[in-house]
Amino acid sequence: MVKRKSASSSDSTDWNYEAKVIEIEGIIAGIEAGELELEEVFDQFAKAVEYLRQCESFLQQRQQQVDLLIETLSDE
């Protein structure tokens, strides 16, 4: 597995999947409200994309862990 820079932040003890999802939802709500300047929309969108990448990496890592546990159970 190749780790990206964003994946390392998901290893941090202060990183939280649910908190990132809430942040993404907040960003989306802010963009949809239409009250941001265009440049801020792009900045917020870029931030949301980075958070989504972090979440995807987190979920992939956890899926690999689950697959390994299932394989271990199957071997027994």
Place of tokens 């300047």: 37
CA distance linking residue 33 with residue 29, whole number of Å: 6
The two three-digit tokens of residue 23, written as one number: 């942040």
pLDDT in tens, 45-63: 999 999 999 999 999 999 9
Q: What is the DSSP letter of 13?
A: T
pTM exceeds 0.85: no
Q: Is the confidence at residue 24, as pLDDT, over 70?
A: yes
Q: Which of 27, 64, 62, 18 is nearest to 45 (CA)?
A: 27
Average pLDDT over residues 25-39: 96
